C-alpha cells in the first residue's frame, strides 16, 4: 500500500488516500484494502516497542463507507502488553474528524529466527503461538 507512517510519542500516525486501484464498489475502497492498511499501520508500532512481531489476529470494524479519493488520518497504539502479546488498536477518521473505521488485534513478539525459518520453508519453522 506504500503507507507512510510516523512515530509520534507512543503512537503511530498515518494519512492515507485510497485510489481507484483500491476500489471494491464504485467509489468505495475494498474492505480488504482497508484491513491491509490497518495491519500496516499497526505494524508501525514495532518501531515503538523496538522488537520484531507478527500479526496473530486482526479485526476491522467499518463504521461508514471508506471513500476513494478522500484522505483518512489513522492513529495506532499499543493498548497493553502481556509478555509476548501486544494488544493494538487503530482508528481511521475522515477529514471532518469522524471515525470511519477502526481495528486492531494481537501481535506476537518473535525472535528474528522466525523470519529466517519461514523464508526457507523449514518444516520446523517457529510457530507464532
Residues 106-124: tens digit of each pLDDT:
999 998 777 676 666 655 5
Say if CB 22 and CB 78 are below 8 A apart. Answer: no
Sequence-ordered strand ranges (E) for 20-93: 53-62, 71-82, 85-93
* Residue 40 a catalytic site member: no
CA distances 108 to 5, 91, 94, Å, are: 20, 20, 30
pTM of the full structure: 0.89
Give the per-residue pLDDT at 123.
57
Contact of 72 with 66, CB cutoff 8 Å: yes
Q: What is the pLDDT of residue 122?
A: 57
- Residues of the chain with pLDDT below 50 are none
> Which of the following is catalytic: 10, 39, 79, 111?
39
Amino acid at each position: 500500500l506504500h503507507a507512510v507512517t510516523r512515530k509520534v510519542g507512543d503512537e503511530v500516525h498515518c494519512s492515507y488516500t485510497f485510489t481507484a486501484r483500491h476500489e471494491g464498489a464504485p467509489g468505495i475502497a475494498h474492505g480488504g484494502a482497508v484491513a491491509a492498511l490497518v495491519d500496516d499501520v499497526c505494524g508501525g508500532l514495532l518501531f515503538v516497542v523496538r522488537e520484531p512481531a507478527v500479526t496473530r489476529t486482526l479485526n476491522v470494524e467499518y463504521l461508514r463507507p471508506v471513500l476513494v479519493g478522500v484522505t483518512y488520518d489513522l492513529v495506532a497504539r499499543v493498548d497493553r502488553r502481556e509478555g509476548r502479546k501486544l494488544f493494538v488498536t487503530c482508528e481511521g477518521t475522515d477529514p471532518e474528524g469522524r471515525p470511519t473505521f477502526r481495528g486492531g488485534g494481537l501481535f506476537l513478539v518473535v525472535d528474528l529466527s522466525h523470519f529466517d525459518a519461514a523464508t526457507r520453508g523449514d518444516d520446523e519453522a517457529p510457530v507464532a503461538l
